[in-house]
Chains A and B, each alone.
Chain A
Amino acid sequence: MEIPYTTQPRPDTGLYNAKVGIWLFLASEVMLFGALFSSYILLRVGSEPGFWPHDWLNIPVGTANTLVLITSSITTVMAWASLKMNQFNKFKFYHACTILLALTFVCIKSYEYHDKFTHYEVALTNGKFVDGHMKENHLEMKDNALTGYAVFSGHEVEKREELYDLKKHHHTGHEDVKVDAAEIKRMDTYGPWHNTYTAIYFTLTGLHALHVIGGALVIGFLWGPGSKLYRTDPERFTNRIEISGLFWHFVDLVWIFLFPVLYLL
């Protein structure tokens, strides 16, 4: 006995097996990201008043990335529709676009990550804070003590709270601030360890980026060596493109929630 309904839909459910499978898988993905979004809400509600960051992320860059993903969803639909109309070359073209857009997304995201990892917050011994990207680094460890100096392009503020909403506290421009090693009390970058906002930001977008990379690998396989199946079993191949497309749309949809939650609110 062969396994039935691998390609043809079962009459009473109207679905072939893999389609049931992918929807179930996506349901569990909803729960995965749902738990993380719930954690975001809890952490934000529980944060000290005035210490939830605003405008820490670059909104134009985020918007560009949103457009990139939305466009890739369109090309994904077009790729599947092309196969349905037996236009294999068009399929190749559209999914090539999808893969390139996915790469673009990952590149832009890497740029944003890099920006955060080179962004410093320095607590000074006089109680003030210096915040910004490191321009010149002349700091050196000698005999377990920090010597030298560094120049940051950013701001010097009286209270740490001001860093959490620069616009509200009228810090708009950037200036060069030189800091001597002796003045530094504590210094760290805007990595995941910085506070609960960067923690949830890196976890959510990191997990999402892994999904983008995973989806791109699957679509890349189906676009390249996997597309041989089209010659022998076009219907089954079209189904595979549909299934991977459903996953891609889901990944896109997650970003549609991520963008306002992390960038705008």
Chain B
Amino acid sequence: MQAAHTTTPVHEAEHHHDPGFWRGYVFSTDHKVIGIQYGVTALFFLLFGFTLMLMMRWQIAHPQEAVPLVGKLLEATLGETAKDGKISGDLYNSFGAMHGTIMVFMAIVPLAFAAFGNYVVPLMIGAPDMAFPRVNMASYQAYVVGGLIMFVSFFIPGGAAQAGWTSYSPLATSIASTGQTFWLIGMVCLITSSLLGAVNFIATIIQLRAPGMTWMRLPFFVWAQFVTAFLLLLAFPPLEAAGVMQLMDKVAHTSFFLPTGLAIGGNLANISGGGSPLLWQHLFWFLGHPEVYVLILPAMGIVAEIIANNTRKPLWGYKSLVYSALTIGFLSFIVWAHHMYLTGMGTKVATFFQTTTMIISIPSVIILTCMFMSLWGGSIRFNTPMLFVMAFLPMFGIGGLTGLPLGFNYSDLHLHDTYYVIAHFHYIVAPGTIFALFAGIYYWYPKITGRMMSEFWGKVHFWASLIFMNLIFQPMFAQGMAGMLRRMADGGANYSKAKVPNAIGGLSDALLHMHIYILWAAVGLFLAQIPFIVNFFYSIKNGRKVTSDNPWEATTLEWQTPTPPPHGNFATVPEVHHGPYEYSVPGKPADFTPQNAPV
């Protein structure tokens, strides 16, 4: 570490050449710049996807009332579909489909995998860059193109895709607008982007580990990214194939997913028929389920790093963590049809998939247990990243446990497609993954900028987010168990006791009234992000300067570089002599031993 630091001026004098604005920031091949590009773009999409949902929550709580503040803007930009500032059914469907698409494919995966992975993985393994820097740049560019296509689709006639982020056929194919075509082409770009990224990550981790960085000395974050990359590499192509086929259905009038005798609007469709709607669902969920682990594994990686660093002790059960991550990676390919219990695929198939689903919860529980056990007996530093991580553990626990009734065929029949499902997976992705991502941002910010983010505003951000997230998602469990379906533009008012007094299982006023609490909790969550956004930009220039290259006193290699790391990262090739988490080793002068410290 010391060697790397003291030789910095020499190193910069040798290699420093100003690449200019375009090569330096836009068409850069440096993994750190690409990581930051990914991060900023993904954070933008995260906010955009959230505002879509805010407008939808207004519509659910107050059906057919003009959206306050932005109603006029909606009408001006989107036209007839937002007449008088009210969200029409079609627009609601567009917002719903695009909220899911944006959050999964354009916000969280690019942030968790591409942004953090790009910035941190090469540093952690002691590499000068990714194995294929130009492929890396192409990956980001494909992502931007895909994102733009998705974004533009809001403004075309007929609006963006309306068939949900899952785009089930025949619905997706039979809606007479080009939104779905844009969605499919956008997806092909995003899939290309993640394919290029995945190849690059795996090749980098296999080939560019520094001398002495053996597989079992890799920080758990690197392992998590490694498994994630394999999931993206192997699970996305079937969706690409499905996307190509749906595109053929849409533009070449084939019938891959359209059955014989399909009627649209009461008329027999002019198609050859003979296709299978189930085929789309199989191919979609063959990606869709591994994708869930793409969302959570990098988050678990971040959590592991921050726990070890802030408990000042080694991770409990490092090997169990690694083997669990690998097991999850393998098993995630054979659980997909638990999303399809209601399709009538047969009880034998359902039994197989509910068995594998129960088995995959075992390694997930092992990981969570290891992380809880790591807290035992540590003298915990409660800084902002650690607070987010401490909240991640129980929140992910709630998300995971509420998933079990969905994994069982019989209980899923009742809960399928209700708000219960929404609450379940948002507990995993929102106070789970997104909290871990926030933790990661607060944790690595000083390495990227050389300055700390404000601890006070970080804590405000944390507590407000934690409270509002729970206020949003907790009521949805109750709504869903009472039978309230998702994806309804009126929030289920049509099925209320008030409207259909004698119906069995009609939704009570109390359940519908929860929509209003949820709306205001969502507004609160939006306001809670303001301290973060201000803190994020303000601290770039005005945060407290770090006094050392290793402000958290961490062991992993990314902290043993100059701040911020220069092009090429390390002045000399680091030699690794220690495991990733040598904290509080008895007999050592400091309570941490960097991986490249001499023996």
Contact = CB atoms under 8 A, between A and B. Distances in A.
B275 A43 contact: yes
Interface in A9-35: 10, 13, 15-18, 20-21, 24-25, 27-29, 31-35
B199 A25 contact: yes
A36 interface: yes
B195 interface: yes
A195 B279 CA distance: 16
B207 A28 contact: no
A198 B571 CA distance: 59
B566 to A, nearest CB: 10
B208 to A, nearest CB: 7
Nearest to A16: B207
Contacts, number: 139
Contact of B131 (A17, A43, A51): A17
A116 to B, nearest CB: 13
A51 B570 CA distance: 65
B40 interface: no
B305 interface: no
Interface in B182-216: 195, 198-200, 202-203, 206-208
B598 to A, nearest CB: 20
Interface stretch (A143-151, A186-194, A246-254): A186-194
B146 interface: no
A195 B254 CA distance: 7
A87 interface: no
A42 B129 CA distance: 44
Contact of B203 (A21, A48, A191, A196): A21
Interface stretch (B65-73, B234-242, B417-425): B234-242
A46 interface: yes
Interface string A61-102: 000000000000000000000000000000000000000000
A43 B274 contact: yes
Contact of B132 (A17, A29, A31): A17
Interface stretch (B244-252, B361-369, B454-462, B531-539): B244-252
A195 B242 CA distance: 17
Contacts of B200: 21
A36 B207 CA distance: 32
A58 interface: no
A203 B248 contact: yes
B195 A28 contact: yes
Contacts of A36: 241, 245
A35 B283 contact: yes
A3 interface: yes
A39 B248 contact: no
B569 interface: yes
Contacts of B208: 3-5, 17
B413 interface: no
Contacts of B572: 1
B207 A15 contact: yes
A207 interface: yes
B302 to A, nearest CB: 24
B234 A27 contact: yes
Residue among A15, A17, A18 having the largest count of chain B Cβ atoms under 10 Å: A17
10 tightest A-B contacts by CB?
A: A35-B238, A199-B254, A1-B128, A32-B237, A35-B241, A31-B237, A193-B253, A1-B568, A196-B274, A20-B203
Interface of B: 127-129, 131-133, 135, 195, 198-200, 202-203, 206-208, 233-238, 240-242, 244-245, 248, 252-256, 260, 271-272, 274-276, 279, 282-283, 286, 568-573
7 contacts: A1-B128, A4-B208, A42-B279, A48-B274, A193-B255, A193-B271, A199-B254
